[in-house]
Structure 1
Amino acid sequence: MARSRRGFTLIELLVVVLIVGILATIALPRLQYVREKAFRASMLSDLHNLVSAQEGHLSVVGDYAGGIAASQVLVPGNGGRVALTPSPGNQITVSLAPGPTPMTSGGWSAVATNPGISSGVQSHCGIFMGPVSASPNAAVTQSGVPACY
């Protein structure tokens, strides 16, 4: 008597599920790495945009702005704000360095973070303009060049 075989056996299905599980175990850490790399790229891009905004503020007001906002506030020092909308999830903190006179800053620094970076490796990116003493971290060594640490 001829027996027709239709469908898959339970063993065949279990082998397929096992292979899919192994492939997922290999792929997920790589996916997280690529995701965090994209967050770092967006933080660096936001810091580059901040440099442009700060230099524009400097050319109009004569001093750097003390922070960012949805709309520009054209006053010198800590009261001034540059118009910048960070990428989704990014948070930017701007600090002014003390200047030669009370009315002028000696440069500025900024730190960008994103809570989507969970590995703790290079979870902050920073930039500064002015003297090296304005640097937010020892990893940020060149004025105007952002670095992650």
Structure 2
Amino acid sequence: MKQFHYRGARSIRGFTLIELMVVVAIIGILVGIAVPAYQDSVRKSRRGQAKADLAEVAQAMERFYTVNNTYVGANLADIAMTQSPKVGDPRYTISLSGATTASTFMLRAQPVGGQANDKCGTLTLSNTGAKTPNAQTMPECWNLQ
């Protein structure tokens, strides 16, 4: 049986350790960039849900005011909105902030768990539509981006 050998042909032996380490370093850099960006995106989407839930509770408070001519006596448990999202693991706890008067209220969405790392922190919404954090100093917290 005759074996054929090609001149100048090199046998393939696999990857060198240096090539492997370069690939591992590149993957490490990509992961180091991608994971924080992903986590920030998740926190941003959860913040969006909390803003929508605050608006829904504010509407319920306005309906209560329309019927009773006062905000006093409004109960978030009756509205069935004490956390955001409504079902599943809470990312925000929704509550009334301070004393509710006949003509004023302040809603608060306090981040819990992993959402506590969100740069916007606690979100508030009043009966006048005033929001914190301030949309001028931290526009990413309330504006669509």
Shared fold (TM-score, shorter chain, > 0.5): yes
Deviation per CA, 1:85-109: give whole Å up to 9, x if none: 53132101114433xxxxxx12111
Match of 1:83 in 2: 80
One-letter code aligned to 1:91: T
1:50 maps to which of 45, 52, 57: 57
1:97 maps to which of 87, 100, 103: 100
Shift of 1:137: 5.4
Gaps of 5+ in 2: none
Q: Secondary structure at the match of 1:111?
A: strand
Match of 1:78 in 2: none
**Cα 1:40–1:52 shift into 2, 3 Å:** same
User: TM-score with structure 1 length normalisation?
Assistant: 0.66
Higher helix share: 2
**Cα 1:108–1:122 shift into 2, 3 Å:** same
Shift of 1:136: 7.8
One-letter code aligned to 1:51: A
Shift of 1:123: 0.7
Q: Secondary structure at the match of 1:117?
A: helix
* Identical residues among aligned pairs (%): 31
Higher strand share: 1
User: TM-score with structure 2 length normalisation?
Assistant: 0.67
2:76 maps to which of 57, 68, 81: 68
Q: Secondary structure at the match of 1:12?
A: helix
**Cα 1:84–1:117 shift into 2, 3 Å:** closer
1:18 maps to which of 25, 37, 42: 25
Counting matched residue pairs gives: 124
Q: Secondary structure at the match of 2:105?
A: strand
Conserved 8 A contact 2:109-2:124 = yes
**Once superposed, what is the RMSD of the aligned Cα atoms?**
3.1
Distance 2:133 2:13 in 1: 67
Distance 2:116 2:65 in 1: 35
Distance 2:133 2:124 in 1: 10
Distance 1:111 1:23 in 2: 37
One-letter code aligned to 2:100: A
Distance 2:50 2:104 in 1: 20
**Cα 1:53–1:25 shift into 2, 3 Å:** same
